[in-house]
A = this chain, B = another copy of it.
Amino acid sequence: MDKTLKRMATMQRMQVTGLELFYKNGYYNTSVDDILKELSLSKGAFYYHFESKEDFFIQIIENLLVRKMYSMLIEPIEGHENTLDLITSCFEEALETAVHNELDFGFVLSNFVNEFNGKNERIMKHLNDILRIWEANLVSAIQRGKFNGYIDRHVDSEGVAVYLMSAYIGVRTLMVEIAPSARKYRFMSQLRQYFKSLEPKRDNSLNHQTVYGSAN
């Protein structure tokens, strides 16, 4: 096999297995040897390809986590239809993978935020970057929804974005142990309820000020 190909293949295998184990057991609770044992590789191979465990992890963030966040939580809502529907089905799908205990990258992200917060500034910087991208993307989706008439124009786009991310991250935390499927269902129907309240009010324009923007 071509040497560069072999290099890429080995690094890829290490990163995939690394992310799996880091997700399952946490970064600090997963030793490099754990990953290597899984792959029947040695310390030498690892430190030949990566500078350090931390460096390894950052490459995982950049190569796997960022891409997956894009494909699961960012690109799916970049269409130009009703953005609230897009977000709904996007969350629906992401939470479904969570129910089946598969890797759900929105959660992986929030998990790592929890684990590294206050402990590793360098890694936090990378994680925060992803959060910011997610947030910015949600904000522009909401704004698009307003522009297209699916969302009331008085709605605070940034507020909704923060609220959505909060709710998503939170429900994933709650789903880890107790009744994930039931919690997903309940969560989703409350999300729909909340989205209903963001729709444009056409019937009575006098109510707008009281319903929205308690901006004091």
Contacts and interface: CB of A to CB of B under 8 A. Distances in A.
A115 interface: yes
27 contacts: A26-B28, A110-B170, A111-B114, A113-B173, A114-B114, A117-B176, A118-B176, A124-B177, A128-B177, A131-B177, A162-B187, A163-B167, A163-B186, A163-B190, A165-B170, A165-B174, A166-B167, A166-B169, A167-B167, A167-B170, A169-B169, A169-B174, A173-B173, A192-B214, A193-B197, A193-B198, A194-B194
Contact of A178 (B114, B132, B170, B174): B132
Contact of A166 (B25, B170, B192): B170
Closest 9 CB pairs of A and B: A170-B170, A166-B170, A197-B197, A166-B171, A169-B170, A163-B190, A159-B186, A114-B114, A162-B186
B26 A119 contact: yes
A159 B184 CA distance: 9
A176 B119 contact: no
A131 to B, nearest CB: 7
Q: Is chain A's binding surface mostly helix, strand, loop or mixed?
A: helix
Nearest to A175: B166
A110 B212 contact: no
A45 interface: no
Interface string A193-216: 110111000000000000111110
Nearest to A186: B159
Nearest to A169: B170
A25 to B, nearest CB: 6
B118 A115 contact: no
A160 interface: yes
Nearest to A118: B24
Which of A170, A191, A214 has the most chain B CB within a 10 Å cutoff? Answer: A170
Interface in A138-168: 156, 158-160, 162-163, 165-168
